[in-house]
Structure 1
Amino acid sequence: MLKKIIKGSHRKPSKSDSNEPGSIFGYGQPATRNSGSVSTANVVVNHASRAGPPPPPSPNSSGPGPISSMGFGPPPSGPVDPLPLFRDVPVSERQSLFIRKLQICCFQFDFSDTLKSAREKEIKRQSLMELVDFIQSGSGKITETCQEEMIRMVSVNVFRCLPPASHENTGQESADPEEEEPYLEPSWPHLQLVYELLLRYVVSSDTDTKVAKRYIDHSFVLKLLDLFDSEDPREREYLKTILHRIYGKFMVHRPFIRKAINNIFYRFIYETERHSGIGELLEILGSIINGFALPMKEEHKLFLVRALIPLHKPKPISMYHQQLSYCITQFVEKDYKLADTVIRGLLKYWPVTNCQKEVLFLGELEEVLEATQSAEFQRCMVPLFRQIARCLNSSHFQVAERALFLWNNEHIVSLIAQNRSVILPIIFEALEKNIQSHWNQAVHGLTVNVRKMFLEMDAELFDECQRQHAEREAQAREMDEQRELTWKKLADVAAQRGGEDMITV
């Protein structure tokens, strides 16, 4: 019995524990929309060997006591007095003043009421501005303790529960993300300065990465990535710049950041199809891909196949397609042998009923084909031009028009000309059908131009395709006539055997 009690006291870790620092999945609690209250006790630094910090002193006290245990600081219980400017105190006291200003900046205020705590809000804003100027000026190298407390202050302010998106918990069907009004963070006057302080710290030449990586660790990076789901575009823009700078400066974090972004994409593609920051993450990746060394690692090729290409599947692709197309094209320009993989991936996720999405795919296809060489083009041209033929006959004029615009690209035309004996028989019927029956005059005119182009390329091949097309049409007419004749014979036989019992339609 005693053994059972002792055994029961060791709690089995729950699934939620996997989101503690060190988890690689990128879904930690501090920035999830539905998480409850959050403690920042181990937000930034994994100091397992250090004792817990003592309670913080009053913001007006003179001692530079730690602020580590403040968590999400409540509003100040008493009045907050402004502290002197850095230039008004001796150099020897500036580190102490730096920490005291950080303490003031840890207090949280209610921005739903603009008149509430207006004086204290202004004091905090001024303190943040002074901290930003102090870091930017480089007038004094801040100590390791100040760096630690500064990152803790940043964590207290930015790592928070995001408000529910407009489609959540309302009982309404989710609207088109492009039509939704973005939620603007009311505390942005303070939040912007906190992000600016973090950015200035990361890009500062005085920041030693060996020291800073103790505080800007994997846990910190994961929580920054969680914040990319913020609906406020101003916040996402700052996050994009900061994460890009962290990736550039902290080489030790690079594989981890790529893997964490991977996991965000997987969840978006296969679970939620809802995330506000996919475009910004892809912008960062576009720059990262541009710096990949050759020959390209297998890890990067797997990222293309498993994450980037499947990003063509979700419905809200229009929100991030420009950035996605850039990343895909970067891969093909880096390694032309990937063109076949990319084109077959596009064909796999080609939309069936979404015409606007189809127009986006055709635009991206043109960019990829521009970077494609002849050998890779030949591997995928048959399924590719079967799809293009379907697009040529689309009743949506923008799809048909965009497909015909491919013949305005000189490189694509040269690839088609080299392989015309395979391509023209595939699309000839689609061209003839457009000329005979497409309702849109612009599509009709473009089709005539493309047809003329093929005629000038190879008149003999064109005549052969025309002859085969005429034969197929004659066979089809003959089959229709034979079918009609068979039904007529059946009707005559039925009438002879008992016309009164036959039901005619």
Structure 2
Amino acid sequence: MWKQFIGKLSWKSLKSSPGGGGGSPTAKSHPMSPRENGGSGKPNASPTSPSGVAAAEGRSREDAFIQKVNICCTVYDFADRGKDSPEKERKRQVLMSLVDCIGAAEEPLTEAMMSACVHMFGVNLFRVFPPKVRSGTAASETEEDDPFFDPSWYHLQVVYELLLRFVTSPFVDPKVARKYVDSSFVSKLLDLFDSDDPRERDCLKTVLHRIYGKFMGNRPFIRKAVSNIFYRFVSEADHHNGIAELLEVFGSVISGFAKPLKEEHKLFLWKALIPLHKPKTVGGYLPQLTYCITQFIEKEPKLAGTVIRGLLKYWPITNSQKEMMFLGELEEVLELIDMAEFQKCMVPLFRRIATCLNSSHFQVAERALFLWNNEHLFDMISQNRQVIVPIVYPALERNARWHWNQSVLNVTMNVRKMFFDMDERLLLACQSNFQLEEEKRTAAEERRRLVWKQLERNAQPVVAGSASFPQPSSSVPPVVPTVT
């Protein structure tokens, strides 16, 4: 493949090399005789000897490769498609030939070739996105809009394909290539995840995963850099296009963590992943975030309690759609939790679930009621019913009496029946306590109403203006100020 790649360029280099006989077929075909070589009886090393040809071919191979890479370092303006069209097409063809050559390489790439490739990647890929594209509009406001497509993508796509072939090639020595695929290169590559073009983010996702797998020395830096992106997103930006793709990469990375988990990995969960529930755009990446979190829990089940406490910390109050997403993630976490961790967090957890049961948004209330359909969760609830049922029963009773939605009412009655079948005596005790609490609450409301009524009655003359203030007597002379 390399012979096809360098073509006539390498052949001309061989013909013009010093001592090559000036391109004469005779000199090339017949080595010099001892007499012609000064009578020494030992011929000198000829360029046509096997070692000389191999060295010359290696040099010409490297020179031809670097020459073509340098051609691809020219950056064109793709805003105007008609501008520099022949040059753009020529560069694209050269890029495609480089892709084929790296993919079919039979010899290792030299350090000079690696350096030239990494420089070319940086020149073509690392760029500043236009401000009009990188707007700060929330995803919830633009989710119906068509995605942005970069006009230079048909050109960048080949560069990304070449970068992927370069990273995955067995003929690229990672020890040598790491000099150039360093922290600076990786950091600039991570900045590209904020691209508005979903196709570019998808390519970056694959490239980053391959870099993480091949360049093991870069792994700690990649984890730290991605954590910093998450920190800025949560605390400052509140908008980033590539959070879902980064989480997707780290989902496979987390699955490869060794047991027991290192402390730095647990800190990544607590300080980087769990706070991602805070932004209002969490719906755009919640499936990937949930997958990463469940991978942590599968590695170490004790982390389930930490995750639940984090969910309760960032639980939405006024966003019903986000609350439904949290309930769905909560169910996935509860499927993996063990009894010891469940008992540590069940009191605050079911207080929050009871609040969701009484939500005026019927979908939130219905989603919370559907938690009882989970067999694993229902089994843990039944084993801890002495604590959980008294917390949840008042919310069920309020739904049965006053909730406006018929579907919520029907599911509530089913859950009450499940509790009744589970422990009839406990349910009757909870019902009796609820009646007493309702009577106390009604009496307190009545007292409050009477107090307010008395206050209104006492304040009515002043408010109505019927109260008259005493007028000064006319016999009393006015006080005249004296001047001293």
2:434 aligned to which of 456, 459, 469: 469
Aligned: 1:184 with 2:149: yes
Q: Which residue matches 1:150?
A: 117
Q: 1:486 to 1:314 in 2, by over 3 A?
A: closer
1:174-197 residue CA offsets vs partner (Å, 9 max, x unmatched) = 972524543321111111111111
1:109 aligned to which of 49, 72, 76: 76
Alignment of 1:171-250 (within 5 A): 176-250=141-215
Tell me the CA shift for residue 453 of structure 1: 0.8
Q: Distance in 1 between matches of 2:335 and 2:269?
A: 19
Q: Given that residues 107 and 171 in structure 2 are in contact (C-alpha distance below 8 angstroms), is that contact kept between their aligned partners in structure 1?
A: no
Q: Given that residues 393 and 433 in structure 1 are in contact (C-alpha distance below 8 angstroms), is that contact kept between their aligned partners in structure 2?
A: yes
Q: Given that residues 134 and 196 in structure 2 are in contact (C-alpha distance below 8 angstroms), is that contact kept between their aligned partners in structure 1?
A: no
Q: Distance in 1 between matches of 2:101 and 2:250?
A: 32
Q: Given that residues 332 and 371 in structure 1 are in contact (C-alpha distance below 8 angstroms), is that contact kept between their aligned partners in structure 2?
A: yes
For 1:159, the aligned partner's letter is F
Report the more deviating stretch, 157-166 or 246-255: 157-166
Q: Distance in 2 between matches of 1:356 and 1:178?
A: 15
Tell me the CA shift for residue 489 of structure 1: 7.0
Aligned: 1:163 with 2:163: no
2:417 aligned to which of 449, 452, 466: 452
Q: Given that residues 167 and 175 in structure 1 are in contact (C-alpha distance below 8 angstroms), is that contact kept between their aligned partners in structure 2?
A: no
Aligned: 1:128 with 2:98: no
Partner-residue secondary structure (3-state), 2:130? coil
1:413-457 residue CA offsets vs partner (Å, 9 max, x unmatched) = 111111111111111111111111212222111111111111111
Q: Which residue matches 1:45?
A: none
1:408 aligned to which of 370, 373, 393: 373
For 1:312, the aligned partner's letter is H
Q: Distance in 1 between matches of 2:103 and 2:392?
A: 62
1:77-127 residue CA offsets vs partner (Å, 9 max, x unmatched) = xxxxxxxxxxxxx78743322222112211111212222221111111111
Alignment of 1:83-482 (within 5 A): 93-166=60-133, 168=135, 176-482=141-447
Partner-residue secondary structure (3-state), 1:342? helix
1:271-319 residue CA offsets vs partner (Å, 9 max, x unmatched) = 1111111111111111111111111111111111111111111111111
Q: Given that residues 108 and 173 in structure 2 are in contact (C-alpha distance below 8 angstroms), is that contact kept between their aligned partners in structure 1?
A: no
For 2:121, the aligned partner's letter is V
Tell me which structure has the larger Cα radius of gyration. Answer: 2
Q: Distance in 1 between matches of 2:191 and 2:274?
A: 22
Q: Percent identity?
A: 58
Q: Distance in 1 between matches of 2:226 and 2:244?
A: 12
Partner-residue secondary structure (3-state), 2:143? helix
Report the more deviating stretch, 160-169 or 97-106: 160-169
Q: Distance in 2 between matches of 1:453 and 1:330?
A: 32
Q: Which residue matches 2:47?
A: none
Q: Given that residues 167 and 211 in structure 2 are in contact (C-alpha distance below 8 angstroms), is that contact kept between their aligned partners in structure 1?
A: yes
Q: Given that residues 397 and 443 in structure 1 are in contact (C-alpha distance below 8 angstroms), is that contact kept between their aligned partners in structure 2?
A: yes
Q: 1:305 to 1:490 in 2, by over 3 A?
A: closer
Tell me the CA shift for residue 138 of structure 1: 2.3
Q: Distance in 2 between matches of 1:166 and 1:135?
A: 34
Q: Distance in 2 between matches of 1:108 and 1:494?
A: 80
Q: 1:492 to 1:181 in 2, by over 3 A?
A: closer
Q: 1:147 to 1:173 in 2, by over 3 A?
A: closer
Tell me the CA shift for residue 487 of structure 1: 6.0
Tell me the CA shift for residue 399 of structure 1: 0.9
Q: Given that residues 154 and 194 in structure 1 are in contact (C-alpha distance below 8 angstroms), is that contact kept between their aligned partners in structure 2?
A: yes
Query: Structure 1 stretches of 5 or more lacking a match?
Result: 1-58, 64-89
Partner-residue secondary structure (3-state), 1:367? helix
Q: 1:500 to 1:282 in 2, by over 3 A?
A: closer
Q: Given that residues 99 and 149 in structure 1 are in contact (C-alpha distance below 8 angstroms), is that contact kept between their aligned partners in structure 2?
A: yes
> What do you get for the CA RMSD once the two structures are aligned?
2.6
Q: Distance in 2 between matches of 1:181 and 1:492?
A: 62
For 1:479, the aligned partner's letter is A
TM-score by length of 2: 0.80
Tell me the CA shift for residue 349 of structure 1: 0.4
Q: Distance in 2 between matches of 1:207 and 1:500?
A: 93
For 2:246, the aligned partner's letter is L
Tell me the CA shift for residue 475 of structure 1: 2.0
Q: Distance in 1 between matches of 2:418 and 2:251?
A: 37
Q: Given that residues 139 and 284 in structure 2 are in contact (C-alpha distance below 8 angstroms), is that contact kept between their aligned partners in structure 1?
A: no
Report the more deviating stretch, 133-142 or 119-128: 133-142
Q: What is the total number of aligned residue pairs between the two structures? A: 413
